[in-house]
Amino acid sequence: MLNIKGWSAAVGANQSKIIDLLVGNAVALGAVVGAVLLLVADPIVLRMLGGLLAVAGVIGTGWLLRREVARHGELLTMHTGPRLVLLVAIAGGYLARRPDQAVWVWTATGIAMAAVLAEPTIKALLAKTQQIAVNLPGVQPVPAPPYAPNRLVAGSLATITAGSALAIVGLPGWCYLGVATLELAAALILIGYAGRATKMTRQALTALPKALKRHQPAFVVYYGGLHGARYQLGMWLPYLERLGRPFVVITREAATVPTITALTTAPVIVPRTTSELGDLSTLVVPSMKAAFYVQGSRANLHFQKFRKLTHIWLNHGDSDKQANFSPRHATYDKVLVCGQQGVERYAAHGVEIPPDRLLKVGRPQVERIEVRDEPLPADAPRTVLYAPTWRGGRPTTDYSSLGLGERIVAALLDRGVTVIFRPHPLSYADPADAGLIRRIQQLLAGDQRSTGRHHVWGEQAERDWEIADCLNNADGLITDVSSVASDNLASGKPFAMVAMRASGEDFRAEFPMARVAYLIEKDLSTLDSALSDLLGTDPLAEQRHAYRRHCLGDQLGPHAADEFLRVAGELVTGVSRPAAKGKPKQDEKISEIPLERVLFPTEPDVAELVSQETDRLAEQQRRTG
């Protein structure tokens, strides 16, 4: 007999979905049986059993919907069958208590069912609405819904719960009718919004091309991700704005628009993937010279096909993670790295990028990090920043020490250290990791109450302060394989790294940054000695200061952004991008892009480029042959 894990392997679904399927089927079956017993059974015992099954169905449906909310899923049309059956079951239970209220009860039931049955229509209408452009003169933004559509499903569950309670108490049926009418009114409001928003979406799509040409953007920042825009774009937009040229941000996910508009006043545009109006080809206007990328989504390839633009890879941090030496980076026209370490990192991992495409520009984000190379007095109190990274997108990129964080922080507290705790923002997307974060925060809160030490965590460490503020207020750092380690180099302060993927010299060989860090093994066997070096004599100080220039380039402090601004300024004007052999830019050979190194060689846009180049070469051979 297969268990949950066995079923998961057999059908190719994760265990969570298998659990949802089994519980959903049980809820549906229980709701049907409960409804039948409440409607047709005579003995009171059977009716009571039907009522219990209906209540269990309400609880089960709520549990399933809550799990979907935790996954950030869309609730519209989910579990509509069980909800409809439960409404019938409530009617049966209500009439068993108040047979004189049949008209009120069945009217209320019909109205509540109509609201549930309207969900597919609402979902279809909402699919035709989309934010097209914000902050772009000449294009009216599409307003947000009056409330989150998921709340309509929550309202349906509230109606079912309220109906159950009213039936048990035996209140008049018009009370139930009032609750059901509110649910239907909410559905009608959403239908009305969807109709207006659909019209505004079409109008925005029509106005978009002319508005873009009038705006004359010199470059575009392309964002293909769904999560992480706040820190990934947030670290680069201030410097791109300092170029003093008009630009736009194109994001593939409309859900990211509120986050991005909070970061910049530049126009934010969402391409329309289901219509020729507003697709990517209509968003590339003649004034655009370059496109910057800060996140490694495979969707970037959709925009890289526009070869008249210079495509520039920025990344959103500098570290020894795989994301910093992906073979896909070789498909960009220019790859901007901090220093020589970035160049060597690609070579060490077999990623071949011509030297003229690799540009060393320093790390602009360290301009606010204060440099302090002098050691603290031995008896001075210490503050340490603990900044673990997230789990990564797959097991091979999981460098996170968050699971050890409580023990690491406890060891710091035992030494009388003040702690700044700043977890990676994407760690909150995993419920287990979010729980670990809360436990560390509770540990710090408890220590603060008992000792009076002013630890920093939560809103202050993660939103009020930027990473530069955290580093400036700390005397040392504990982190993982992370860009925080690179940024800390600018400060000159000591740091430790947690070796989660290897051990000892193997870890240092794989991750060069660890050669100037105090190593904490994942079994914590070296935690005590690493903390003694970090908080004490700091024997790696000289090596760390020498490595700083190798990693971050020549400029620190207020001038850290100068080289980036110079190089990026040239790229967005097109000055540093002459056409190959005097030919127009669009005639460059696609073979100059090492497509064989792309991780997703079957991507349609890349395949199209290869096909075009093959056809061109065949035609050239035919003419000369």
Structure tokens at 523: 């079994």
Burial 108-126 (b: 16+ CB within 10 A, else e): bbebbbebbebbeebbebb
Condensed to tens digits (0 to 9), the pLDDT of residues 450-472 reads 999 999 999 999 999 999 999 99
Report pLDDT for 12.
Answer: 52
Structure tokens at 412: 């710091």
Residue 142 per-residue DSSP state:
P
Condensed to tens digits (0 to 9), the pLDDT of residues 341-354 reads 888 888 888 889 99
Which residue would you say has higher pLDDT here, 498 or 272?
498
What string of DSSP letters covers 384-423? EEEE-----SSGGG----GGGHHHHHHHHHHTT-EEEE--
DSSP strand E in 52-202: where?
A: 133-134
Q: Are strands 495-499 and 518-521 parallel, antiparallel or unpaired?
A: parallel
Report pLDDT for 619.
Answer: 45
Report the distance separating Cα 301 and Cα 305, nearest Å: 7
- What residue has token string 């990934």? 232
In this structure, of 413-417, 501-505, 525-529, the range with the lowest mean pLDDT score is 501-505
pLDDT band at 578 (very low <50, low <70, confident <90, very high): very low
Residue 594 above 50 pLDDT? no
Report pLDDT for 624.
Answer: 40
Residue 69 above 90 pLDDT? no
Residue 167 above 60 pLDDT? yes
Report pLDDT for 65.
Answer: 87
Average pLDDT value for the chain = 85
Report pLDDT for 33.
Answer: 86
Report the distance separating Cα 36 and Cα 54, nearest Å: 10
Determine contact, residues 149/190, Cβ cutoff 8 Å: yes
Instruction: Identify which of 273, 472, 299 has the alpha carbon closest to the alpha carbon of residue 371.
Output: 472
Q: 10 Å Cβ neighbour count for 524? A: 15
Q: Are strands 268-269 and 133-134 parallel, antiparallel or unpaired?
A: antiparallel
DSSP strand E in 67-208: where?
A: 133-134
pLDDT band at 604 (very low <50, low <70, confident <90, very high): very low
β partners of residue 248: 220
Report pLDDT for 281.
Answer: 87
Report the distance separating Cα 385 and Cα 376, nearest Å: 16
Residue 423 above 60 pLDDT? yes
Report pLDDT for 620.
Answer: 43
Backbone angles phi, psi at 99, to 5 degrees: -65, -20
Determine contact, residues 426/433, Cβ cutoff 8 Å: no
Report pLDDT for 185.
Answer: 97
Identity of the highest mean pLDDT range in 239-243, 376-380, 554-558: 239-243
pLDDT band at 541 (very low <50, low <70, confident <90, very high): very high
Residue 616 above 50 pLDDT? no
Determine contact, residues 368/605, Cβ cutoff 8 Å: no
Query: What are the CA-CA distances from residue 81 to residues 32, 61, 167, 262 (Å)?
Result: 10, 10, 21, 40
Helices 80-97 and 150-169 cross at an angle (nearest 10°) of 20
Report pLDDT for 341.
Answer: 85
Report the distance separating Cα 268 and Cα 262, nearest Å: 11
Residue 42 above 50 pLDDT? yes
Report the distance separating Cα 462 and Cα 518, nearest Å: 25
pLDDT band at 233 (very low <50, low <70, confident <90, very high): very high
- What residue has token string 């008992």? 450
Condensed to tens digits (0 to 9), the pLDDT of residues 116-144 reads 999 999 999 998 888 899 999 999 999 98
Which residue would you say has higher pLDDT here, 320 or 392?
392
Report pLDDT for 556.
Answer: 84
Segments in 415-561 forming alpha helices (H): 431-451, 459, 467-472, 483-491, 504-510, 527-535, 541-552
Report pLDDT for 5.
Answer: 59
Q: Which domains does the chain have, with CATH numbers?
A: 4-199 (no CATH), 216-362+560-625 (3.40.50), 375-554 (3.40.50.2000)
Report pLDDT for 582.
Answer: 33
Report pLDDT for 613.
Answer: 38
Report pLDDT for 292.
Answer: 97
Burial 332-363 (b: 16+ CB within 10 A, else e): bbbbbbbbebbbebbeeeebebeeebbbbbbb
Condensed to tens digits (0 to 9), the pLDDT of residues 184-200 reads 999 999 999 999 999 99
Residue 329 per-residue DSSP state:
G
pLDDT band at 270 (very low <50, low <70, confident <90, very high): very high
Instruction: Identify which of 280, 364, 270, 250 has the alpha carbon closest to the alpha carbon of residue 315.
Output: 364
Report pLDDT for 590.
Answer: 27
Residue 596 above 50 pLDDT? no
Residue 585 above 80 pLDDT? no
Residue 87 above 60 pLDDT? yes
Residue 30 above 50 pLDDT? yes
pLDDT band at 44 (very low <50, low <70, confident <90, very high): confident
In this structure, of 3-7, 55-59, 167-171, 394-398, the range with the lowest mean pLDDT score is 3-7
SS (H, E, C) 178-228: HHHHHHHHHHHHHHHHHHHHHHHHHHHHHHHHHHHHHHCCCEEEEECCCCC
Structure tokens at 80: 């509509």
pLDDT band at 9 (very low <50, low <70, confident <90, very high): low
pLDDT band at 550 (very low <50, low <70, confident <90, very high): confident
Report pLDDT for 3.
Answer: 61
Q: Kindly state the average pLDDT of the residues 230-245.
A: 93
Structure tokens at 595: 């497509």
Share of residues in the chain with pLDDT > 70 (%): 88
Report the distance separating Cα 377 and Cα 267, nearest Å: 50
Q: Kindly state the average pLDDT of the residues 569-595.
A: 46
Report pLDDT for 496.
Answer: 96
Condensed to tens digits (0 to 9), the pLDDT of residues 376-403 reads 998 899 999 999 999 887 777 788 999 9
Q: Which residues have C-beta within 8 Å of that of residue 87, sequence separation ≥ 6?
A: 109, 112, 113, 116, 159, 160, 163
Report the distance separating Cα 491 and Cα 480, nearest Å: 17
Structure tokens at 155: 């309202």
Report the distance separating Cα 82 and Cα 67, nearest Å: 16
Helix H or strand E encompassing 495: strand 495-499
Q: Which residues have C-beta within 8 Å of that of residue 24, sequence separation ≥ 6?
A: 64, 79, 82
Residue 222 above 70 pLDDT? yes
Share of residues in the chain with pLDDT > 90 (%): 55
SS3 label, residue 562: helix
Determine contact, residues 83/120, Cβ cutoff 8 Å: no
